[in-house]
Amino acid sequence: MLWLSIALLTFVTLQRLAELVYSRRNTAALLARGAREYAREHYPFMVAMHAAWLLGLWFLAIGRPVDPAWFVLFMMLQGLRLWVLATLRERWTTRIITLPGVAPVTKGPYRFLSHPNYAVVVGEIAVLPLAFGLPLYAAIFSLLNGIILAIRIRAENAGLKQSRA
The one-letter amino acid code at 12 reads: V
Residue 2 pLDDT grade (very low, low, confident, very high; cuts 50, 70, 90):
confident
Helix (H) or strand (E) holding 161: helix 135-164
The dihedral region occupied by 39, where left means phi > 0, alpha psi between -120 and 50, and beta the remainder, is left
Residue range 79-130, pLDDT digits in tens: 999 999 999 999 999 999 998 888 888 999 999 998 999 999 999 999 999 9
The mean pLDDT of 3-27, rounded to a whole number, is: 95
For residues 151 and 87, the answer to whether their CB atoms sit within 8 Å is no
pLDDT at 49: 97
pLDDT at 165 over 60: no
Q: Where are the domains of the chain?
A: 2-164
The one-letter amino acid code at 129 reads: P
CB atoms within 10 A of CB 71: 17
Instruction: Give the Cα separation of 165 and 161 in Å (integer).
Output: 7
How high is the mean pLDDT of the chain?
Answer: 94
pLDDT at 1 over 70: no
Measuring CA to CA, how many Å separate 47 from each of 50, 58, 79, 85? Answer: 5, 17, 22, 19
Residue-by-residue DSSP string for 109-132 = GGGT-S-HHHHHHHHHHHHHHHHT
